Each structure stands twice: as structure tokens, then as C-alpha cells.
């Protein structure tokens, strides 16, 4: 019988935390056996657990941790195509390939994510307006289906399963291996222009005006400021700098200095999260980032500022936090401003929020991005959070927006269905691949993607 350990696990937000039977197979065959043995009514794959909510949490069921299936299988140096097991982390890929002149095609704001997790949430990054989401750079993958078959999938082979799996939050099967196309770089540095924007209108205007000129762009928003300063932001737009343009003092163009990484060793007390402390932090961030052009920043500092502090999520205390990411179509941008007003007026203090213009979405049936604007922020868990978030959800839905499976822990099924109009198509493919409902998660049941009791 495949070995498992009963563990209380949660997503990165630390909430909800529930008991699951966790398997950590080292071989693909052991992974298949864990699901085939049928000790639990349902199973879900888990990568590095960086989804904030309950996408990789499965009370009353099995959780298959894939992080030991982390072998790189081949690399085509001409085409930049890496074939690897799905438990390989983006950090591993960067450490191996940046020195050889290759970079990820798309990266989220943390490198502690597996390839399987990046496909299953069809993650996006600062270049979404130019390059789309992660799934669009996946050439093919192999999928262990719930009945034990290994299905090759690509945009031209089993394409329906391919696009159900991209963004399909682990519900179509377990991705075993994937081939992804990396992008060539000649330095490990980004040239960044910073623009300070006095409020949300100025930030939206600056992004509209400048975005097309840059590969990467994102704005950090002080979501506690109000009135004329509502949504004051620092827009950071950048491009890879060519090795030949890198000043000599940076040394070897494709290596960056190793830095000390502090750790938050335990959950910090909740009183630190008062609006005064957070407001001061946000104001300081705005103050120390005047507009300036052409700053050279290493890729680690530009893409992964939060990864610098290990376990930074413990800073939100033992009750955890919810990360709220809402994406609105261009026609619903007024909803984004209303959401920001509601959040800033609520006193539910959040550190800096992130604002980004998104490009067109991928073909992933449950993929999150849509052409428009996305706003992301952390909200500590404290009294009355659930009804407050449900009000926010209604506002987002009213403006044609949607919430993101990688972040969400609270959306109700009827709201999710309204936000993801291709849910029915997804469910039809899922029903064919998994008639017995072997793959499920707390998120899948809560959002009504599959039937069953949500669990604690
Ligand atoms: C600091 C931080 C910043 C972030 N920034 C961004 C961002 O900018 N953009 C963005 O899009 N996301 C962002 N995220 C979210 C993160 O990128 C996603 O949640 C990602 O899916 C996490 O990958 P993981 O390996 O940790 O997977 P997990 O969180 O463990 O699992 C995520 C989903 O993938 C499924 N899954 C995992 N492995 C497999 C597999 N082998 N086969 C099938 N399904 C699988 C799971 O079942 C689950 O549904 C951020 C998260 C953090 C903590």
C-alpha cells in the first residue's frame, strides 16, 4: 500500500488548514499507485503549495505532493525547449538555465512554484500583456488520467484535454512531464523605469500610455490611501537588458550575486497588522520610489521581491490571510476603482496591492486572465471577513470580472459559474476523463466545479 502521512495542510495564506492524507511519491509509478489504490474517495496533486487558498487542499481525501518528481529530462539548446518532470520548480530552472542564457517565458511573482502548478493555474506574470500566460508556452505534456492512462497532450494532440488541463487546477489528471519553451537572454538583468502616479486614475493612464513599450510592467498600489490619493502607485516597467549594454561593474552578465535570505521563523503577533503600521509601510514605499529611468536590477529583485524573505506569509499571524485577485474586462474598469474604494474604506489594511493590465486570455477553459485589468491584495483573516469578501465578489461579478483560483479561498459556486462561462465545457471533459470523480479538491467542491461536500 503506498505510504502517506496525515497532515494539517493549507495554502500559502495559511487558511483554511485541514487534515489530508499526503503522499510524496518519488517515482511516477508510485504516484499512479497512490491514486489507483483508492484508499480515499478523491485525490488532488500539490506542487509547492504556493496557491493561497484551497486549490491543493483536500479534506477527507488524498493529496499527492509532486515535488520529488523533479528531474530535468532533456534540453534542446537550439530551440530552447526544456522537457522536465512536473515537480521541477521554477527556481531550479532559473538556476540551471539563466547562466546558459535562457529565461522562463512567463513567471509569477514567486519562483517557488512547480511546472505542474504553473500549468494547472495557467499562471501569468508581468509580461502578460505581451506574452500571455504560462500554458501558451507549453509545447506538450503527459497527463496521468484518473483511470491510470498516460495521455500525451499538446495544442494539436488531445487538444481538448490540453486546454482543460491548462488552468484546470489539477482536476483532469496529474501532469507528469512537460516541455516548455524558454526565452533567450544575454544578461540576468532588467532595465527598469519607475513612474510615481498620484492616484488610481493617473496609474491607469500611465499604464495605458506606456505599457506597449515594455515587455514587463506592474504597479504597486498603496491601497490605504484615500480621497484624491486613492490608489497612488509606483509603476515599474522593464525589459531584459542586453549583455553588451550591461556596465562592466556588474561582472559576468548571466550571473547575479547570491544574497542573504532572512526567514520569518514563526507566526508574528496579529497586532503588528494594524492600519497605522501598514499605512506607514505603504507611505514609505511610495516615498522611497521617485520616478526615475533606466535602473538596472537583477532578475531576482525585479521578479521575486517577496521571495527574499522565507516564510514571509507568517508575518500575517496564525490566523493567516486571504489574497484577493480580481480581473476586470476593460469595460469594467470602474468596478476595479470601486473595489479599491471599498477595500481602502474597510479598514482591512493590506500591504501594497498590485495593479496590472492584462492581455487577451489563453484557450484554457478555466484559465483566469482576460483582456483588462487585474488588482491583487492581501487581507488578514479577522472578524467578518467572509461576508465582506462575498460583497466584494458580487461587485466584481457585477462588472464582468472574475476571481483567480490560485488565490481564492472563499468564492461561492454560483458566483464562480457566472465568472467562468466555459465551466460547462470543462465539466463535460472532466466527466469523460474522470467519471468516478477521483480527482477533487476543496476548491473544486466549494466553487461547484465538481459535486460533493466542501469539508471543513
Ligand atoms: C508570493 C507569491 C506570488 C505569486 N504571484 C503570482 C503571479 O504573479 N501570477 C500568478 O499567476 N500566480 C501567482 N502566484 C500563485 C502561484 O503562481 C500559483 O498558485 C501556482 O499554481 C503555485 O504553484 P505550486 O507548484 O505551488 O502549486 P500548488 O499551489 O501546490 O497547486 C496549485 C494547483 O496546481 C495543481 N497541480 C500542482 N501540480 C500539479 C500536477 N503535477 N498536475 C496537475 N495539477 C497540479 C494543484 O492541484 C492545484 O490545483 C503567487 C504566489 C505567491 C505565494
Task: Sort residue 164 into left (φ over 0), alpha (ψ -120 to 50) or beta.
Answer: alpha
Pocket of ligand 1 (CB under 6 A): 12, 44-51, 55-56, 66, 86, 108-110, 113-114, 116-118, 120-121, 123-125, 169-170, 174-175, 306, 406, 441
Task: Report the number of secondary-structure helices (H) and strands (E) in the chain.
Answer: 13, 19
**262: CA distance to ligand 1 center in Å?**
23
Q: Is the pLDDT of residue 229 over 80?
A: yes
Give the DSSP H/E element, type plus range, for residue 131.
helix 128-131
Q: Identify which of 104, 31, 36, 37 has the alpha carbon closest to the alpha carbon of residue 66.
A: 31
pLDDT at 268 (0 to 100): 66
% pLDDT > 70, the chain: 98
Rounded to whole angstroms, how far apart are CA atoms 396 and 402?
Answer: 6
DSSP letter at 16 equals S
Contact between 48 and 113 (Cβ < 8 Å): yes
Contact between 256 and 298 (Cβ < 8 Å): yes
Confidence tier at 273 by pLDDT (50, 70, 90):
low
Tell me the pTM: 0.97
Query: 290 vs 417, which has greater pLDDT?
Result: 417
Q: Is the pLDDT of residue 438 over 80?
A: yes
Helix/strand/coil for 408? coil
Contact between 332 and 402 (Cβ < 8 Å): no
Mean pLDDT of 409-424: 97
Confidence tier at 272 by pLDDT (50, 70, 90):
low
- pLDDT per residue over 3-50, tens digit each? 999 999 999 999 999 999 999 999 999 999 999 998 999 999 999 999
- Residue linked to cell 531584459: 240
C-alpha cell at 111: 519562483
| Average pLDDT over all residues of the chain | 94
Least confidently predicted of 125-139, 220-234, 271-285: 271-285
On the 0-12 / 13-18 / 19+ scale of CB atoms within 10 A, 81 is middle
Rounded to whole angstroms, how far apart are CA atoms 442 and 60?
Answer: 9
pLDDT at 374 (0 to 100): 98
pLDDT at 127 (0 to 100): 98
Query: 373 vs 259, which has greater pLDDT?
Result: 373
Contact between 380 and 317 (Cβ < 8 Å): yes
**In this structure, how many other beta carbons lie within 10 angstroms of the beta carbon of residue 319?**
15
Give the chain's domains with CATH numbers: 5-65+423-446 (3.30.43), 72-184 (3.30.465.10), 189-415 (3.40.462)
Q: Closest ligand 1 atom, CA of 89? A: 25
Residue nearest atom 53 in ligand 1 by C-alpha distance: 50
pLDDT at 314 (0 to 100): 84
- Residue linked to cell 524573505: 309
Amino acid at each position: 500500500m503506498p505510504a502517506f502521512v496525515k497532515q494539517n495542510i493549507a495554502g500559502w495564506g495559511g487558511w483554511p488548514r485541514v487534515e489530508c492524507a499526503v503522499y510524496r511519491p518519488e517515482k511516477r509509478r508510485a504516484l499512479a499507485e497512490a491514486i489507483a489504490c483508492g484508499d480515499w474517495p478523491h485525490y488532488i496533486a500539490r506542487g509547492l503549495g504556493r496557491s493561497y487558498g484551497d486549490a491543493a487542499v483536500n479534506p477527507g481525501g488524498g493529496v499527492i505532493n509532486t515535488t520529488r518528481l523533479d528531474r530535468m529530462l532533456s534540453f534542446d539548446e537550439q530551440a530552447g525547449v526544456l522537457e522536465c518532470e512536473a515537480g521541477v520548480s521554477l527556481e531550479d530552472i532559473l538556476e540551471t538555465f539563466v547562466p546558459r542564457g535562457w529565461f522562463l517565458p512567463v513567471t509569477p511573482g514567486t519562483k517557488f512554484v512547480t511546472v505542474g502548478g504553473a500549468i494547472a493555474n495557467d499562471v501569468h506574470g508581468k509580461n502578460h500583456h505581451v506574452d500571455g500566460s504560462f500554458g501558451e508556452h507549453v509545447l506538450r505534456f503527459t497527463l496521468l488520467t484518473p483511470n491510470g492512462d498516460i495521455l500525451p497532450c499538446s495544442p494539436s494532440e488531445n487538444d481538448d484535454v490540453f486546454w482543460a488541463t491548462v488552468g484546470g487546477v489539477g482536476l483532469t489528471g496529474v501532469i507528469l512531464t512537460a516541455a516548455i519553451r524558454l526565452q533567450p537572454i544575454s544578461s540576468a538583468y532588467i532595465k527598469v523605469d519607475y513612474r510615481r502616479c498620484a492616484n488610481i486614475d493617473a496609474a491607469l493612464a500611465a499604464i495605458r500610455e506606456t505599457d506597449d513599450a515594455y515587455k514587463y510592467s506592474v504597479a504597486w498600489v498603496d491601497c490605504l490611501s484615500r480621497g484624491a490619493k486613492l490608489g497612488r502607485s509606483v509603476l515599474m516597467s522593464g525589459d531584459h537588458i542586453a549583455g553588451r549594454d550591461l556596465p562592466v561593474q556588474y561582472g559576468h552578465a548571466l550571473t547575479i550575486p547570491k544574497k542573504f535570505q532572512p526567514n520569518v521563523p514563526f507566526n508574528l503577533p496579529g497586532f503588528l497588522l494594524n492600519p497605522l503600521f501598514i499605512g506607514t509601510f505603504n507611505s514609505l514605499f511610495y516615498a522611497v520610489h521617485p520616478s526615475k529611468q533606466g535602473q538596472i536590477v537583477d532578475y531576482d529583485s525585479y521578479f521575486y521581491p517577496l521571495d527574499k524573505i522565507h516564510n514571509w506569509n507568517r508575518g500575517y499571524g496564525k490566523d493567516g490571510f486571504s489574497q484577493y485577485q480580481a480581473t476586470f474586462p476593460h469595460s469594467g474598469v470602474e468596478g476595479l476603482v470601486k473595489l479599491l474604494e471599498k477595500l481602502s474604506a474597510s479598514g482591512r489594511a493590506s500591504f501594497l496591492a498590485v495593479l496590472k493590465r492584462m492581455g487577451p486570455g489563453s484557450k484554457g477553459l478555466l484559465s483566469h486572465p482576460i483582456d483588462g485589468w487585474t488588482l491583487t491584495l492581501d487581507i488578514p483573516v479577522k472578524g467578518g471577513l467572509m461576508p465582506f469578501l462575498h460583497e466584494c465578489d458580487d461587485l466584481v461579478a457585477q462588472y464582468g470580472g472574475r476571481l483567480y483560483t490560485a488565490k481564492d479561498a472563499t468564492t461561492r459556486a454560483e458566483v464562480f459559474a457566472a465568472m467562468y462561462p466555459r465551466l460547462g465545457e470543462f465539466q463535460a471533459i472532466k466527466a469523460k476523463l474522470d467519471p468516478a470523480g477521483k480527482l477533487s479538491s476543496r476548491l473544486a467542491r466549494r466553487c461547484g466545479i465538481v459535486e460533493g461536500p466542501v469539508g471543513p
